[in-house]
């Protein structure tokens, strides 16, 4: 692990990155690469050198793994569901399904077989990724350091790439359903003829750039708000846990336990907000009032 306080914080906030280092790069052990090489970054500087096409292996692995756990557990319950007295896991899954189903019925005003399963997946997946923040900050990274990995971030939602990737996926669905329900002409008209309109043709044409600017910003703000809200809250929570870990042992217990209990509310609330905003945005995409 890193020595100074600054190095310790930077170490815990750095992702395990896989990408291509350019030729003539100097590795930490002093070797010089004779050609461009795909490898795991050993320092934050190497991760920066790898550029846009680098992959955060830890974020990808933990996100996919937690998603697989969600699918496995819910599929297991679905296959073993009984009409008799349910077990603890089946009871929990039924509560989750009922909660999400009620949220969709109250918020979504269109007709779609996709929205409820999507909302359930989003809530459970984001919750599981957020839940990793409650694991002591040194525990898993230290185990991976012993195994030879220089970095290991275990909370995927503290990676802006994960949060933005999920938000852009929702944004793509917004565009698909907007065009499907309203048609290309209706979707373009919604962007160019609102909120300002006029019966005068010349004035209506003049208002098109203004409407396009306002509606375009409103449309693009949806994925940005989804991503930054989730990322910002989770990143701040993780940073507080890291700062607490720098304190003396007695102070860590005095502060980490209350913060962890409060953080349970945060990780649940952020999963719920991401889910409910997705439902709201897709409900708006299904509206065809003009």
| pLDDT tens over the chain, length 290 residues | 556 899 999 999 999 999 999 999 999 988 999 999 999 999 999 999 999 999 999 999 999 999 999 999 999 999 988 877 778 889 999 999 999 999 999 999 888 889 999 999 999 999 999 999 999 999 999 999 999 999 999 999 999 999 999 999 999 999 999 999 999 998 998 899 888 887 788 888 888 999 999 999 999 999 999 999 999 999 999 999 999 999 998 899 899 999 999 999 999 999 999 999 999 999 999 887 65
State the CB neighbour count (10 A cutoff) for residue 172.
11
Catalytic annotation, residues: 225, 229, 233
Do 160 and 227 meet the contact criterion of CB atoms below 8 Å apart? Answer: yes
Structure tokens at 91: 């009871």
For 27-85, what is the HEC assignment?
A: CCCCCECCCCEEEECCCHHHHHHHCCCCEEHHHHHHHHHHHHHHHHHHHHHHHHCCCCC
Residue 19, CB-side half-sphere exposure with 13 Å CA sphere: 22
Q: Give the residue extent of every domain in the chain.
A: 57-286
Query: Among residues 178, 140, 166, which one has the least CA distance to residue 228?
Result: 166
Indicate the pTM of the whole model: 0.93
């Amino acid at each position: 692990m890193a020595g100074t306080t600054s190095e310790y914080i930077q170490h815990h906030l750095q992702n395990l990155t896989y990408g291509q280092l350019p030729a003539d790069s100097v590795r930490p052990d002093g070797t010089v690469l004779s050609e461009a090489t795909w490898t795991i970054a050993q320092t934050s500087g190497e991760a920066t050198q790898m550029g846009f096409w680098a992959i955060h292996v830890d974020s990808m692995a933990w996100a996919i793994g937690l998603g697989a756990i969600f699918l496995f557990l819910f599929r297991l319950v679905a296959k073993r569901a009984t009409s008799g007295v349910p077990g603890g896991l089946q009871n929990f899954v039924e509560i989750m399904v009922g909660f999400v189903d009620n949220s969709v019925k109250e918020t979504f005003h269109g007709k779609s077989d996709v929205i409820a399963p999507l909302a359930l997946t989003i809530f459970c997946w984001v919750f599981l990724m957020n839940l990793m923040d409650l694991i002591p900050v040194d525990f898993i990274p230290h185990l991976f350091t012993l195994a030879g990995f220089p970095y290991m971030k275990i909370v995927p939602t503290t990676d802006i790439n994960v949060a933005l990737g999920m938000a852009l996926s929702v944004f793509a669905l917004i565009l698909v359903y907007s065009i499907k329900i309203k048609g290309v002409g209706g979707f373009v008209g919604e962007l160019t003829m609102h909120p300002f309109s006029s019966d005068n043709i010349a004035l209506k044409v003049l208002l098109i750039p203004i409407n396009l600017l306002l509606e375009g910003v409103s449309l693009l703000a949806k994925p940005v708000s989804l991503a930054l809200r989730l990322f910002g809250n989770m990143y701040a929570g993780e940073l507080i846990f890291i700062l607490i870990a720098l304190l003396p042992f007695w102070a860590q217990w005095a502060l980490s336990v209350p913060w962890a209990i409060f953080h349970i509310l945060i990780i649940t609330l952020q999963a719920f907000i991401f889910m409910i905003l997705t439902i709201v945005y897709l409900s708006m995409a299904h509206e065809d009032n003009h």
